[in-house]
């Protein structure tokens, strides 16, 4: 900010704040060095990103229902037409070969969309995934979980069955989406014991009895 807009925030102000909060001259000098390293130049037209804009298909007036009335929902119910995954712009792909079964994705996912596989690795249940990228951030293995463009897919099929039936085909599938396979990490991953075991695939969540306080 001090380099880009000195009329708003000066370098001296930044250094004073660093000095006041840290009482460490080494950090003050580090802040000054970073300031000196920042270079500013004018960006000419055409020098920006070369990534094509993603076009979303919108229904035309001939495809829309007549009228503008929104159907009412019964109290205590949800709109059956709305699925939370429909707002997703990116989805995670898992490299099952390099998964070390650390459980970080399973623990940190706010929507509980990771299920354990028979091998003890973790797959994504895309019906529950909103594409928040937390799993990619917490995964300690390079490229084991990678967020990719949602527009490349037209379904929410779970991907572990593809891997289980055709591992080589699944690896090619990952490469098609620009994901590095890291074969040097496979041996370590295979030797890592599983934290969870799920012999029955796909897993089924057991319903818990509801305690109402009345007589059974």
Confidence of residue 108 (pLDDT cuts 50, 70, 90): very high
Please count the structural domains in the chain. 2
Residue 55 maps to a domain: no
Q: Give domain status of residue 59, yes or no.
A: no
Q: What is the CATH number of the domain that holds 164?
A: 3.30.70.20
Are residue 100 and residue 185 in the same domain, yes or no?
yes
Quick: pLDDT tens for 24-41: 999 999 999 999 998 888
Q: Is 134 exposed, middle or buried (0-12, 13-18, 19+ CB in 10 A)?
A: middle
Domain with 2, as residue range(s), is: 1-38
pLDDT tens digits, residue range 65-99?
A: 776 666 777 888 777 777 888 889 999 999 999 99
Q: Which among 86, 97, 139, 150 has a CA at the least distance from the CA of 121?
A: 97
Say if residue 102 is in the same domain as residue 175.
Answer: yes
Shared-domain flag, residues 99 and 184: yes
Q: Domain for residue 94, yes or no?
A: yes
Match 């509801």 to its residue by tokens. 210
**Is 122 found in the same domain as 26?**
no
Q: Indicate whether 50 belongs to any domain.
A: no
Indicate the SS3 state at residue 45.
Answer: coil
Whether residue 95 is found in the same domain as residue 34: no
Token pair of 65 as six digits = 């229902």
Residues 122 and 29 in one domain: no
Please indicate, yes or no, whether residues 182 and 101 belong to a single structural domain of this protein.
yes
Is residue 208 domain-resident?
Answer: no
Instruction: Tell whether 9 and 97 lie within a shared domain.
Output: no
Pair (23, 89) in one structural domain: no
- pTM to 2 decimals? 0.56
Arithmetic mean of pLDDT, 38-45 = 84
52 assigned to some structural domain: no
* pLDDT category of residue 206 using cuts at 50, 70 and 90: very low
pLDDT band at 207; cut points 50, 70, 90: very low
Q: Is residue 64 part of a domain?
A: no
Summarised one tens digit per residue, pLDDT across range 113-127 is: 999 999 899 999 999
- The reply to whether 27 falls in a domain is yes
User: Using an 8 Å Cβ cutoff, are 133 and 91 in contact?
Assistant: no
**Alpha carbon distances (Å) from 133 to 14, 73, 138, 197, 209:** 33, 32, 9, 25, 34
């Amino acid at each position: 900010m001090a380099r880009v807009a000195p009329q708003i925030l000066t370098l001296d102000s930044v250094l004073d704040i660093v000095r006041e909060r840290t009482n460490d001259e080494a950090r003050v000098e580090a802040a000054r060095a970073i300031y000196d390293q920042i270079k500013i130049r004018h960006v000419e037209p055409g020098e920006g990103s070369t990534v094509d804009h993603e076009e979303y298909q919108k229904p035309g007036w001939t495809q829309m229902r007549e009228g503008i009335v929104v159907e009412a929902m019964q109290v205590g119910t949800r709109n059956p037409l709305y699925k939370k995954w429909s707002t997703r712009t990116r989805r995670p792909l898992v490299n099952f070969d390099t998964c070390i079964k650390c459980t970080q994705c399973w623990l940190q996912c706010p929507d509980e969309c990771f299920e354990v596989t028979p091998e003890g690795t973790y797959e994504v249940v895309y019906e529950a995934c909103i594409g928040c990228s937390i799993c990619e951030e917490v995964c300690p293995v390079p490229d084991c979980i990678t967020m990719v463009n949602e527009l490349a897919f037209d379904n929410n099929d779970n991907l572990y069955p593809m891997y289980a039936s055709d591992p080589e085909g699944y690896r090619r599938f990952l490469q098609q989406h620009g994901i590095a396979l890291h074969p040097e990490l496979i041996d370590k991953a295979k030797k890592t014991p599983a934290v969870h075991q799920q012999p029955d695939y796909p897993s089924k969540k057991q319903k818990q009895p509801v305690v109402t306080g009345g007589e059974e």
